A and B are shown apart, each in its own frame.
Chain A
Amino acid sequence: TQLLEQSPQFLSIQEGENLTVYCNSSSVFSSLQWYRQEPGEGPVLLVTVVTGGEVKKLKRLTFQFGDARKDSSLHITAAQPGDTGLYLCAGAPGSNYKLTFGKGTLLTVNP
């Protein structure tokens, strides 16, 4: 059983469209992290959300942590081809626990 479920698994959109990807779990996390991974590279951290209900913005990307700290979403406004990549969420139940990753959402933004 995957601890963190990401949806959708694949997403192909046109440049300029908006999109939202989701990361859900039945477990509570002390924090959730979002990463983007480009082909041939390792994942790069985008943001860490810590507080239930927290919203963080990174240019055109908006990250939200659910009130119950069991889920998170990533919204991209006016997507660009440079946003193409694999978006991964990851979390740990506590500081002494290993980081667990979702399987990711593979986003393709077509020009």
Chain B
Amino acid sequence: KAGVTQTPRYLIKTRGQQVTLSCSPISGHRSVSWYQQTPGQGLQFLFEYFSETQRNKGNFPGRFSGRQFSNSRSEMNVSTLELGDSALYLCASSSAPGGQETQYFGPGTRLLVL
């Protein structure tokens, strides 16, 4: 079974721009969660989607949004980028929603905002 894939792997943007990141979950998994990882804050939950519906949302501003498609692929969008948005963005897929099932992480997208 192929693992979780994320594209692109690396991205450089400037302040004020917007960015879209993509995540393809493991085949058969319908839950996709997104996390932001920084050295200072660690892994912070952004949101979770299950069957195209957002089930949970973390404490991030409205500039961070996401969606999930009928094939379970997910995208997250960050608008009006700020320097502090520089981070590793990870997505994880699991067979069921919530925090009980094993989450399988992708390699992440490293975003640098200049």
Contact = CB atoms under 8 A, between A and B. Distances in A.
A24 interface: no
A96 B98 contact: yes
A44 interface: yes
A100 to B, nearest CB: 7
A45 B100 contact: no
Nearest to A97: B99
A85 interface: no
Contacts, number: 65
Contacts of B105: 35, 42-44
Interface residues of A, number: 27
B92 A30 contact: no
Interface in A10-56: 30-31, 33, 35, 40-45, 48
Contact of B43 (A40, A92, A101): A101
Contact of B58 (A40, A41, A98, A102): A98
Contact of A40 (B44, B56, B103, B107): B107
A2 B41 CA distance: 9
A88 B56 CA distance: 21
A76 to B, nearest CB: 21
Given A42-B90, A42-B92, A98-B48, A30 B100 contact: yes
Given A98-B56, A101-B42, A103-B42, A42 B99 contact: no
Interface in B51-78: 56, 58
Interface of A: 2, 30-31, 33, 35, 40-45, 48, 88, 90-92, 94-104
29 contacts: A2-B42, A33-B102, A40-B107, A41-B108, A42-B92, A42-B105, A42-B106, A43-B43, A43-B90, A45-B102, A45-B103, A48-B102, A88-B42, A90-B99, A91-B99, A92-B100, A95-B99, A95-B100, A96-B97, A96-B98, A98-B56, A98-B98, A98-B99, A99-B33, A99-B45, A99-B99, A100-B45, A103-B42, A103-B43
